Structure 1
Amino acid sequence: MPTRRYDNSPGLGSLYARTVKATLRKAEYEPDTDGLTLELPRALVDQDHLTAYREVTGFSAGPALPVTYPHILAFPLHLDLMSDPSFPYKPMGIVHLANTITQLRPIPMHAELSIKVHSGPERPHPKGTVFDILSDVSVDGEVVWNDTTTLLSRSPGTPSAHADLLPDPCLEARAFWDLRANLGRRYAAASGDRNPIHLFKLSAQAFGFPRQIAHGMWAKAAALASIQRARALPDAFTVRVDFRKPLLLPSRVQFAHTITDAATDFAIYNDDTTITHLIGQLVAR
């Protein structure tokens, strides 16, 4: 398995240019499951950046990183992987279906991190081909966090294929969230994810949306921050979310969750609960 190592996180400006270029050309070859691994052996958290991330997602200050924050640190490596000539799918137009994070222990906010990213094997889906981008974060040589980002490359697909989905829970809304039109731009500034579908009405319309949509990983982070305010998250847990319907901005949505000893189920609905935007489940380890 070839490995590409970096002294610093790759710059997002050049990566977005590569992403556009990669969308316009065909892959040079079909990779196998032993594809490219990207590694950032030494990464330190910019504390001002962390503060900005907490503010836009709702996580309170504390000695440990928000559980979703390492995804932000791995994101430039995700873009680098998807814009590499060996990557078999066109990166623009890929749909984010789900995200699963496992935290094995809290990560101190001042820790030096080592990040590895690679892609997993593809599998058929009713609407195309699904694959995962896998991220691991280590501290002092010990893996403490991993992330599975599940993506769909749309094509005619396989109608008989199984779509892996979380069951829909029966939840009562606990809070209304009023989401402003600039939320996508605010989260983009904190996350680096400047996909045009999240920024402005006109740029989103160019990709078929009536107006800009919220980032899925913002929705996951905001949900977990809300749960954490109700009851502290466990030190070790796995949390998965499925992204169901785009969350248009501006909008008013409802957040619902139920905490039991076995699991925490949560969801984000539209203002009258006729549309499900996100389904999630957290299970302590």
Structure 2
Amino acid sequence: MADRHPSLTRSPALAPLLARGAVLSLFKRPHPDAAFPRTRLVLPEPRVDPARLAAYKRICGFPTGEDALPLTYPHVLGFPAAVRLMSGRDFPLPLPGLVHTSVRITRHRTVPVTGAHELSVHVEGLAPHRRGTEAALVTEVRTSGGALVWESRSTYLARHRTSGRPAPHREEEPGARRPLPVVEAWHLPGDAGRRYGAASGDRNPIHLHPLTARLFGFPRAVAHGMWTVARCLAAHGLPEAVVVHAEFKAPVLLPGAVTYGAQDGRFELRGPGGRLHLTGEVRPA
């Protein structure tokens, strides 16, 4: 459980954090039993830039006239603080190569664009994974009176040898999971990662250009996982109080074509040949 609560005067800049995380990763040896930071970073009044919010809504497909934050936007506000924790010397997993594997978001009520709110981020813990070690980070948004209005839990995987743990099971084949009915087909342009990066502030090199993506083993730039979730939820439609759980199955390469399927509260994103990229579920809170 987080036990220290340092306040941030402003949202941290991502570029220096990514650089620091890359350097410190050389000295890290990930393990599920490693110590992890017990700090809860608090941003007393997260600032929402109207221009960036409008750009975010456009790239994700959310309505632009609403005076409330889209369901996924508090994750954007809290992401720099999360990276600050993950780039620290006391975080045991190397920041470069961390894979976002899942996200669960609970909105108890809508969060207005303006208003007194407090945002906090902390590491919930580490857990063994068949491919390495997974870290869970929790982001919370509370009113000035302390009422919890929004929360998320994201898991990030550091891949490494897992001797002594269960052997990896076979990956799900493209046709193994029965596809949901297709609702829409989307063509994703090559600059989708750059556009989302400009709106969200997440300018990870794997999303920006084929050349920088190849440095990390990808043949082309990769779409942001949180963009795929946001785009699906914008198409799905959401009640005010809602719980969303999504799992990232495979990267979406840019440019590319995907289909969005949905049925009975479930949704998914598939690529050519039926390859499953994302699965999710929406239910009332």
Query: Following TM superposition, by how much is the alpha carbon of 1:168 offset from its aligned partner in structure 2, in angstroms?
Result: 4.8
Pairing partner for 2:209 from 183, 195, 200: 200
Matches of 1:71 and 1:196, distance apart in 2: 19
Is 1:242 aligned with 2:256? no
Amino acid at match of 2:280: G
Equivalent residue, structure 1, for 2:106: 102
Question: Gapped runs of 5+ residues in structure 1?
Answer: none
Matches within 5 A, 1:51-62: 51-61=54-64, 62=66
Q: 1:129 to 1:284 in 2, by over 3 A?
A: same
Amino acid at match of 1:222: R
Say which SS state the counterpart of residue 83 (structure 2) adopts: helix
Matches of 1:100 and 1:284, distance apart in 2: 13
Equivalent residue, structure 2, for 1:253: 258
Matches within 5 A, 1:113-124: 113-124=117-128
Q: TM-score if structure 2 supplies the norm length?
A: 0.90
Q: Does 127-136 or 151-160 show the bigger shift?
A: 151-160
Matches of 2:259 and 2:167, distance apart in 1: 34
Amino acid at match of 2:272: D
The answer (yes or no) to whether the contact 1:168–1:279 under 8 Å persists in 2 is no
Matches of 1:49 and 1:282, distance apart in 2: 26
Equivalent residue, structure 1, for 2:281: 281
Matches of 1:118 and 1:204, distance apart in 2: 29
Matches of 1:147 and 1:58, distance apart in 2: 21
Is 1:81 aligned with 2:82? no
Matches of 1:196 and 1:10, distance apart in 2: 18
Query: Following TM superposition, by how much is the alpha carbon of 1:16 offset from its aligned partner in structure 2, in angstroms?
Result: 2.2
Pairing partner for 1:5 from 4, 7, 11: 7
Deviations 1:75-126 (A, max 9, x none): 1101100111110110111111101100000111112321111111211111
Equivalent residue, structure 1, for 2:154: 149
Equivalent residue, structure 2, for 1:173: 182
Is 1:268 aligned with 2:269? yes
Matches of 1:175 and 1:241, distance apart in 2: 19
Say which SS state the counterpart of residue 17 (structure 2) adopts: helix
Matches of 2:55 and 2:111, distance apart in 1: 18
Is 1:159 aligned with 2:166? yes
Equivalent residue, structure 2, for 1:227: 236
Q: What is the root-mean-square deviation in Å for CA atoms of aligned residues?
A: 2.1
Matches of 1:67 and 1:223, distance apart in 2: 12
Pairing partner for 2:219 from 210, 218, 234: 210
Equivalent residue, structure 1, for 2:140: 136
Pairing partner for 2:51 from 42, 48, 53: 48
Matches of 1:281 and 1:137, distance apart in 2: 22
Deviations 1:230-258 (A, max 9, x none): xxx11111101100011000001100111
Amino acid at match of 2:278: L
Q: TM-score if structure 1 supplies the norm length?
A: 0.90
Q: 1:212 to 1:161 in 2, by over 3 A?
A: closer
Pairing partner for 1:38 from 21, 33, 41: 41
